Amino acid sequence: MADDCDDVCHDDNRDDCRDERQPVLRARGVTRTYHDGNQDIRVLDSVDLEVSAGEKLAITGESGSGKSTFLHLAAGMDLPDAGTMELLGEHVNRLAEPERTRFRARHIGLVFQDYNLIESLSAGENIELVGWLTGRPASVDDIRRLAAELGIDELLGRRPDQLSGGQQQRVAIARALIHQPSLVLADEPTGSLDQASAEQVMQVLSQSVDARGCALVLVTHSETAAARCDRRVRLRAGKLEAT
């Protein structure tokens, strides 16, 4: 276990010394341009945004407006062409790739639009995976408790292909929450679910986030999902506008 730990653990105590009132996420002038042949598509054009601890923010916008792009930038999975992305006071785009990855593993929980569960691992193993990556394996009890909270404690032994879409998404949410992140980034977590499942998933997501006091950035098309959030912004023509 020791060898898993050492490259992850040295930023362990940062959380404690952070200023509580400091925003969890602060985007300043974030710009992202894709090059398509000789044509430049400016998907994000100098976007500013702040999300504070415990806050739940919904981002809406038309398909192709750049919501996922913004989320990827926020997670440090992609880098802006201009502007800064601050997470917990850390300029993620100034970190070197390994540090950025460690930072993400430690502080961010990701829920993908299409679950992205590792197909060959069981549901339980998918949840365990993050603990292994961060070098802080979650205890069996923690996993069981979280799974029970999400209503999937009976399904931990199953492979993703043996689960329904809603069940898979709940496994993905468990995976995003198990390591107690400060910020959960969820990209249309209910996008591929029916009304009832979507409702259920949103409920457990917002409850879990509330219970842990972490911030949530939720990309969604759904009115009901957005309604569960404290604040809503809309992406249009590369700019964020409050609604």
Partner 1 sequence: MLARLSRAFFYRHPAQVLLALIGIAAGVAVVTGVALLRGALVESLDAVSAELVGEQALVVRHPSGRLDVDTYARLVRQPGAPDFVPVLRAAVRSDGQRLEVVGVDPFSGIRTLTGADGTGLSTALFNESGGIPSAVVSASTLELLDSGLDSVLTLDESGRQVRVTAVIRGRPGLDRRLLMDISRAQAMLDERGWVSELLAPPESEAWLRANLGDELLLVTASGQRASARQLTAGMRANLTAMSLLALATGLFVVYSVLSFLMVQRRRTFGLLRALGMTHGRLARLLIGEVLVIAAFGALAGLVASTVLSDQLLRLIAAPVAEVYGQLPPAATNPTPWLYAGIWLAALAAAVAVTVPVMREALQIPPGRLVRSFVVHVLPARKVLALTVLLVTSGAAWVALDARLVAALGGLFLVLAGVIVAIPMIGFGLVRGLARRTATTLPGRALRLLETARGRLSPALAALSLALALAIGMGMMILGFRAAVGDWVTRLLQADMYVSLESRSLAREQVDRLASLEGVEAFSSVRRTRLADGTTLTAYDLPARAWSGFELLGEAPEAYRQFSAGDAVLVSEPLARRQGLAIGDIVELPTPEGPARVPIAAVFRDYSSEQGFVAVSGDLYRRWFDDHAVDSVGLYLADGMTPAELGRRIEGLALGGVAQWITPAGIRRESLAVFDRTFRVSWALAMLVGLIALVALTSALLAQGLERSREHATLRALGLSPARLFGLVTVQSAGLTAVALATALPLAVLIHYALSLLIQPRAFGWSLPAGLPPAEPVLWVVPVALVLGTLTGLYPAWRIGRRPMIEHLRAGR
Ligand X SMILES: Nc1ncnc2c1ncn2[C@@H]1O[C@H](COP(=O)(O)OP(=O)(O)OP(=O)(O)O)[C@@H](O)[C@H]1O
74 binds ligand X (CB under 6 A): no
106 binds partner 1 (CB under 8 A): yes
Q: Smaller CB distance to partner 1: residue 52 or 95?
A: 95
Residue 81, Cβ neighbours under 10 Å: how many? 12
Smallest separation, CB 34 to ligand X (Å): 3
User: Could you give the CA distance from residue 55 to residue 213 in angstroms, rounded to a whole number?
Assistant: 8
CA atoms within 13 A on the CB side of 228: 23
190 binds ligand X (CB under 6 A): no
Q: Are 21 and 204 in contact (CB under 8 A)?
A: no
Per-residue CA distances from 227 to 21, 59, 68, 182 (Å): 25, 11, 20, 22
68 binds ligand X (CB under 6 A): yes
Binding test (CB under 5 A) with Mg ion, winner from 46, 68, 180, 192: 68
Binding mask 172-201 for partner 1 (x = CB under 8 A): ---x--------------------------
Identity at 8, one-letter amino acid code: V
Number of residues that bind partner 1 (CB under 8 A): 32
Identity at 81, one-letter amino acid code: D
Smallest separation, CB 102 to ligand X (Å): 25
Alpha carbon of residue 225 to chain centroid: 16
Binding test (CB under 8 A) with partner 1, winner from 60, 65, 134, 222: 134
User: Could you give the CA distance from residue 9 to residue 12 in angstroms, rounded to a whole number?
Assistant: 5
Smallest separation, CB 65 to ligand X (Å): 4
Alpha carbon of residue 52 to chain centroid: 15
Per-residue CA distances from 138 to 32, 51, 53, 133 (Å): 36, 27, 23, 11
34 binds partner 1 (CB under 8 A): no
Smallest separation, CB 192 to Mg ion (Å): 12
Find, among 182, 111, 173, 116, the residue nearest to 146 by Cα: 173
67 binds ligand X (CB under 6 A): yes
Q: Smaller CB distance to Mg ion: residue 33 or 68?
A: 68
Per-residue CA distances from 137 to 30, 118, 121, 178, 181 (Å): 34, 18, 16, 10, 14
Q: Are 211 and 242 in contact (CB under 8 A)?
A: no
Binding test (CB under 6 A) with ligand X, winner from 41, 118, 148, 211: 41
- Which residue minimizes CB distance to ligand X? 68
Q: Smaller CB distance to ligand X: residue 34 or 132?
A: 34
Binding site residues, partner 1, CB under 8 A: 1, 3-4, 7, 72, 75, 77-78, 97-98, 101-102, 104-106, 110, 112, 114, 116, 118-121, 129-130, 132-134, 137, 159, 161, 175
Binding site residues, ligand X, CB under 6 A: 34, 36, 41, 43, 61, 63-69
